[in-house]
Amino acid sequence: MPAALSSATLGYPRVGRNREMKKALESHWGAQSTAADLHAVSEAVLVDSLRAQHAAGVARIAVGDHTLYDPVLDWTRRLGCVPPRFAHLPALDRYFAMARGVDDAPALDLSKFFGTNYHYLVPEIDAAAAPRPDFADFLDMIRLAQDTVGNHPVVPLVLGPVTYVHLAKLEGVEAKDVLAKLLPVYAQLLAELKAMGVKEVMMQEPALVLTEAAEMKDLYQTAYKALAEPRLPLHVVTFFDSVDPAVLSWVVALPGINGLSLDFTRGNNLAALKEMTWPNSLRLGAGVVDGRSVWTDADTAPPMLAAIREAVGDGVEISVQPSCSLHYVPIDVECETDIPKEIRSRLSFAVQKLDTVVALAKQPAGSGAKGAQMDQIVQDAITDALDEELFVREPKFERRRPQQFSVPGGFGTTTIGSFPQTKEIRRVRTQFKKGNLSEVEYHSMIDKQIGFCIGVQEALGLDVFVHGECERSDMVEYFGVKLTGFAFTKNGWVQSFGSRYVRPPIITGDVSRTGPMTVREFKIAQGMTEKPVKGMLTGATTILNWSFPRKDISHEKQAYQIGLALRDEVADLEAAGCKIIQVDDPALREGLPLKHKDWAEYLRWAVRAFRLSTSGVQAATQIVTHLCYADFEDILQAIDDMQADVLTIENSRSGDEMLRVLAEFGYARDIGPGVYDIHSPVVPGVDAVAERVALFGKVGLARERVWVNPDCGLKTRKWEQVIPALKNMVAAAEKARAK
């Protein structure tokens, strides 16, 4: 008799069906509601999500990642790892100060959570840290959950100690010493949960899927040995990739664990399962329902589950689960009535994923074993047969660069693309979207704004202009709505951080261009000035990484489809007289896979997609790219392989290290290191910028190779800040040039 299947969840969206949490937070921050009001909304949203999971019939409902801002921050507070600079503040203020900063205490850093587009607040721990537990809110949450779903098992979801320490920024202290301090605190939590009648706890340990996990064996063994003491069964939860077989062999033997959850939608956990003997005492959490995809799992999950059952044999209890928390997908696809029914029926958000999990858990053994026929959607023949020539830029940089635009004496000044997005601009765009403005009226307003931007740049004396991007609310959405193959949701909000939510576009089919997307605005801008205006596009990898991709064809193919569409746009811009074309790829670095071994393959196609977009141009047309974050040392070769004529990159927080690294590598093309931080309202002084620019000159780069620009686009700034800042930047470049 094969063991029965059960089901579980690993977390749920916490925004509320109507973004109640976002609204409650913002009203609280605006002093329009009390802390009690905020907690009441938060509780109501949690209760609603518990009821949804209960009603769907999930056997073990995970509770614990519901939050006012960020679950990692919640653990920082609960464990008592609050940095001293926040200590003087009263409780709730202290919590939000850590998230958002106050005058005398800057916020904790934000960082991407294990390669997702969710950002967590990075704990800061130094040698003086003396963790002190405060679990009241967590225990209350568990009690509320128990009350809400009656006798139904709820399973507390805890951020595991080793992963917590891994996520933290450690200052002058080693992981093992921090862990030693934290373990008694964790043990106390487990004891308190046990006293409440809790039967089992989920420990999230996604650090186990990292390449670095191989070196974390001692940490894990120490930790779980210490936590085995309260004798509360622990279910270790991993997600986002597979656990390497060598790591898996010691994870299944960790003391005190009664279960282990694995992600079967990414990496290759199935192969490892087939090679090993899974201990009968260990429940296997089978993450077969993809918690990071909005597509139905109907085709993939049943055969995967069947294969898992076959691999582990009859004696093992299997729990059917989402691969991770469902907070990476929106709540309910049923409200997306604008998405055509044929597409909607293949989409699956949190509510639908719950149903899939429960339905799968009811499956008799053997079903799905033959492999439900995978929907073979016709693959795009075009991207299968791309000519290699399309990826090659000719002639070589040394030959083409002299034909391109350059500033005599070097240190040419420019900006990264966007200018301030004022209330007025936003209003104009919304009115047009609502149909309250005709296209002619709308264009005339946009053109007026472009004219303003050009006038400002003229007055400032910049060398290379931009049109200002005032027609774009978002650098991905703007292109998505113009290309075929994208769908947009009305209510598909996914948390980026805190009260910030985004609605990622969904790639639903083959992507192609139906006509020029940016040429009109370029022409308007270029028509107003003698200075060269940069064409401004978003790169294929960034469009892909900030969307929900298809699952029926590879990411590589999707990137090439977008790349081909961009290639046509580049050609049209060039034909319209554009001499400098910038293709932004800020998400290229972010999209790196969790495991180092997978980097090369990802970078291969991401770089090729960039070249596919940009290598069709004349020698005299200058291709610029903007990669945003400066964290690039480990992808230098890939950046070089992009073959952009100019590379602009964030650099405000370092001196000339970035240029040194590039020079040491032998990077020989033009570089535009950001000379001031656009995230700060502070206007940089002429001398500060001039000094920095002069530093660049000393690295050994010909000054003709160095461009002077801000770190990133200026859309979040005010004109009152932008104008003096750029004025100083231009003066600084002149000063540096004169030296």
Tokens of 228: 């085995």
Complex with ligand GLN: residue 98 or 416, whichever CB lies closer: 416
Asked if 584 interacts with ligand GLN (CB under 6 A), we say yes
Task: List the one residue from 156, 291, 330, 417 that touches ligand GLN (CB under 6 A).
Answer: 417
SS3 sequence, 70-96? CHHHHHHHHHCCCCHHHCCCCHHHHHH
The catalytically annotated residue of 119, 467, 555, 679 is 679
Whether residue 54 lies in the annotated active site: no
Q: How far apart are the first and last CA of the chain?
A: 84
* C-alpha separations of 81 from 65, 108, 163, 164, 168 in Å: 18, 12, 15, 11, 10
Q: Which of 293, 418, 495, 561 forms a contact with ligand GLN (CB under 6 A)?
A: 418
**Among 62, 247, 536, 544, interactor with ligand GLN by CB under 6 A:** 536
DSSP state of 655: S
Bond before 395 cis per omega within 30 degrees: yes
Quick one: how many helices (H) and strands (E) in the chain? 27, 23
The interface partner of residue 357, options being Zn ion, ligand GLN, none and the CB cut-off 5 to 8 Å by kind, is none
Q: Does 586 bind ligand GLN (CB under 6 A)?
A: yes
715 binds, among ligand GLN, Zn ion, none (CB under 5 to 8 A by kind): ligand GLN
Binding mask 495-534 for ligand GLN (x = CB under 6 A): ----------------------------------------
Q: How far is the CB of 537 from Zn ion (least distance, A)?
A: 14
Q: Return d(Cα 472, Cα 474) in angstroms, integer.
A: 5
Residue 78 CB contacts under 8 Å (≥ 6 apart), including other chains: 133, 134, 135, 137, 138, 189
The three-point CA angle 276-281-286 to 5° equals: 65
Q: How far is the CB of 707 from Zn ion (least distance, A)?
A: 14
The DSSP-derived string for 273-295 is HHHS---TTSEEEEEEE-TT--B
Which of Zn ion, ligand GLN, none has residue 536 at its interface (CB below 5 to 8 Å by kind)?
Answer: ligand GLN
Task: Pull the structure tokens for residue 634.
Answer: 């480990």
Distances (CA, A) of 309 to 371, 416, 685, 722: 13, 53, 66, 61
The answer to whether 33 is a known ligand-binding residue is no
Tell me the site size for Zn ion, rule CB under 5 A: 2
Is residue 712 within the footprint of Zn ion (CB under 5 A)? yes
- Known binding residue 324? Answer is no
CA dihedral 467, 527, 563, 491 (to 10 degrees): 50
Q: Which is nearer to ligand GLN, 98 or 627 (CB)?
A: 627
* Nearer CB in complex with Zn ion: 528/628: 628
711 binds ligand GLN (CB under 6 A): no
> Of 597-636, which residues contact ligand GLN (CB under 6 A)?
626, 628
Cβ contacts of 6 within 8 Å, gap of 6 or more:
59, 60, 283, 317, 318, 319, 320, 361
Q: Of 244 and 584, which has the nearer Cβ to Zn ion?
A: 584
Neighbours of 646 (CB within 10 A): 26
Site string for ligand GLN, 665-704 (x = CB under 6 A): ----------------------------------------
- Judged by CB under 6 A, does residue 475 bind ligand GLN? yes
Residue nearest to ligand GLN (CB): 713
Q: Which amino acid is at 154?
A: V
Smallest distance, Å, CB 580 to ligand GLN? 13
Please identify which residue in 715, 717, 728, 729 interacts with ligand GLN, judged by CB under 6 A. 715
In the bound complex, what is the minimum distance in angstroms from residue 417's beta carbon to ligand GLN?
3
Using CB positions, name the residue nearest to Zn ion.
712
Q: What is the largest CA-CA distance in the chain?
A: 85
Say if CB 457 and CB 465 are below 8 A apart: yes
Does 417 show up as a binding residue in the annotation?
yes
| Share in percent of the chain as helix, strand, coil (round to 5) | 45, 15, 40
265 three-class SS: coil
What is the closest distance, in whole angstroms, from the C-beta atom of residue 362 to Zn ion in the complex? 48
Kindly tell me which residue out of 58, 251, 416, 662 binds ligand GLN, with binding defined by CB under 6 A.
416
The residues that bridge with 267 in the sheet, in sequence order, are none
> Is 584 annotated in some ligand binding site?
yes
* Residue 335 marked as a ligand binder: no
Each residue 610-639 as x (binds Zn ion by CB under 5 A) or -, in order, gives ------------------x-----------
Q: Which residues bind Zn ion (CB under 5 A)?
A: 628, 712
Q: Which residues bind ligand GLN (CB under 6 A)?
A: 416-418, 469, 475, 536, 584, 586, 626, 628, 712-713, 715
Please report, in range form, the residues annotated as the binding site for 5-methyltetrahydropteroyltri-L-glutamate: 22, 117, 546
Please report, in range form, the residues annotated as the binding site for Zn(2+): 626, 628, 641, 650, 712
What residues are labeled active site?
Answer: 679
Please report, in range form, the residues annotated as the binding site: 22, 117, 416-418, 469, 546, 584, 626, 628, 641, 650, 712
